[in-house]
Amino acid sequence: MGMNKNTILGWATFIMVLMGLLLIGLGFFKYRDVSGWGFAAVGVGFLANAWVFNALKGRV
């Protein structure tokens, strides 16, 4: 299975989006107090990172 840089970045982006949504979901549904805000903030950070990875995909 040949994995070039674009494929690896694509998978990393996918995993980060998944983790980001999972963390936002945890923050929203499981922890409704202050810690939930932390979870949601980290989730948003993951989504931002995934966006950057996606933007880099063609240029690396």
Give pLDDT, residue 19.
87
Identify the H or E element spanning 60.
none
Number of structural domains, the chain? 1
Output the pTM of the full model. 0.62
- pLDDT tens-digit readout, 1-60: 567 777 877 888 888 888 888 888 887 777 777 777 787 888 888 888 888 877 877 665
Sequential DSSP letters for 3-59: --HHHHHHHHHHHHHHHHHHHHHIIIII--SHHHHHHHHHHHHHHHHHHHHHHHTTT
**What range does the domain containing 21 cover?**
5-56
